[in-house]
Structure 1
């Protein structure tokens, strides 16, 4: 009976994951209460500490190049991943005009959080990355003028 009461609620988020690191807090302008609410409502990924070492169960933010557990936010326009701390710095709350996506440059940049990717999605992303690396190696060098 006790389990049923919490069945519809989102999983609990640890309090230390409801606010960014002090370094980001000093640089970025954001509403701490709105951030906390967005994380608790699973509209933004929790503010977890990024790791330098890559791992199959971690996702890399292409801006800060750190790896995070539990999935990253995804750009609404081009589906690129971005950690919450980088998002807070890219999309300031007090901007008088919309912010452009840092990846595809579309206006009115927004993100969504959908949890960690499935094993199939991770495998597909690894395969696409390997194909991109292989094709980059095969590109011929431009001819040099004499």
Structure 2
């Protein structure tokens, strides 16, 4: 569950934007779709939005994206993109509902193959910290999602 940065806690309806460097390393051991270790660097941009509802609950919407370049130990080159969109309802007491769509794409340059991972999660977090109504859809190997 996303937590609100301090700047959001002070406002009943607010957004915070952030920008930071992002780096990753994927190895063939962690991502069997790769034949070489790939190291990437880029920029992550994000927005966290918090808004109240009429019942005293809060809604978090977190949207992050990253772009950059990556290089394989074998000299291969890539461009990468990442997107994550998470929405959470936080009522005064549980249950909380969470929906997340997470995508990571590693686009090989020239004859280097591409890699794509997409994950969708929708679940309810219950008062006893258990999960119900879990829906998961995954395309690609989640271990290959570097961010």
Given the two structures, how large is their TM-score scaled by the length of structure 2?
0.24
**Structure with the largest fraction of helix:** 1
**Structure with the largest fraction of strand:** 2
Q: Which one scores higher on RCO, CA 8 angstroms, separation ≥ 6? A: 1
